[in-house]
Amino acid sequence: MSIQSPSAQDGRRMPPTTPVELSDALIRELSSAPGLFHRGSEGEALSGGITEVALRALENSVSPGMRTLETGCGGTTVAFAARGAVHTVVTPAKSEEDRVRRFCAEQGISLDTVDFRIGSSDVVLVGWDEPLDAVLIDGAHRFPFPMIDWHYVAGAVRVGGDVWVDDIAIPAVYRLFEFLRGEAEWQLVAIHDDKLARFKKVANPPEAYPLDWELQRYNDRSKWVYSYMPLGRRAQIWRDRAMIGTRLRRLTGKDNRRRSGGSI
């Protein structure tokens, strides 16, 4: 299934709007004014989550016509729109779209190239196959949503494109950060304000089904987890692994102790 942006629905790509540079005052408002875009179930004001420095870094990376997507909606949506990105936003809250629309109308920021997809990202993103230059993952922060968001769009991010992940200190988000930081296909470019990580895609993962999982550094043997086993069983596994290691070193002639006549 292909999910199309507003620019692609009629087979044409809309010309990007003239980018607007957000003033420092506007960046401050977008990042810190509680309730500007986000409200709780009782209508109480919630803070946006993105910080000033992080929002500026994200904004600076976007250029007109870039094909971008974010999960979650708010100040970042305004930044993508202001920079003239051909942008898709995924949020379950129609009220957030309404607030962003009101805000952009007041500030003279065009939303012509922005497509609001109202729904949960785990449903909306299924089948996404349109190439992307940049993605921001800042939607549901509960496990396993950050991974789900990444999973559905990672293949569509072009080599050289960016994946931004906000709130990396939160455990459900940190697991994604940890995974990306370890894999050869992703390069950590920067962490802004101790919370927003920027990764560059440097390669597509090798196609190696069904043993693709073995190629992920995340699943390296040295990282296998045995902590759920009784201590005796764990000790046995460590002994077995040590013996296999010794045999392999001998077979490959890499056992220096033996070659130099040392005792084992």
Ligand X SMILES: C[S@@+](CC[C@H](N)C(=O)[O-])C[C@H]1O[C@@H](n2cnc3c(N)ncnc32)[C@H](O)[C@@H]1O
Instruction: Provide the binding-site residues for ligand X, judged by CB under 6 A.
Output: 37-38, 48-50, 71-76, 90-93, 96, 120-121, 138-140
Cβ closer to ligand X: 49 or 65?
A: 49
Please report, as a single letter, which amino acid is at residue 74: G
Residue 52 C-beta: closest distance to ligand X, Å: 11
Nearer to ligand X, 97 or 133 (CB): 97
Residue type, 93: A
Q: What is the closest distance, in whole angstroms, from the C-beta atom of residue 34 to ligand X in the complex?
A: 11
Bridge partners, 201 (sequence order) = 186
Task: Give the shortest CB-138-to-ligand X separation in angstroms.
Answer: 4
Burial class (CB in 10 A: 0-12, 13-18, 19+), 137: buried
The span from the first CA to the last CA of the chain, in angstroms, equals: 60
Q: Which CB sits closer to ligand X, 38 or 192?
A: 38
Helices and strands of the chain, counted as H and E runs:
11, 7
Q: How far is the CB of 7 from ligand X (least distance, A)?
A: 21
State which residue has the least CB distance to ligand X: 74
Residue 70 or 224 with smaller CB distance to ligand X: 70
Q: Provide the b/e sequence for 78-89 (b: ≥16 CB within 10 Å).
A: bbbbbbbbbbbb
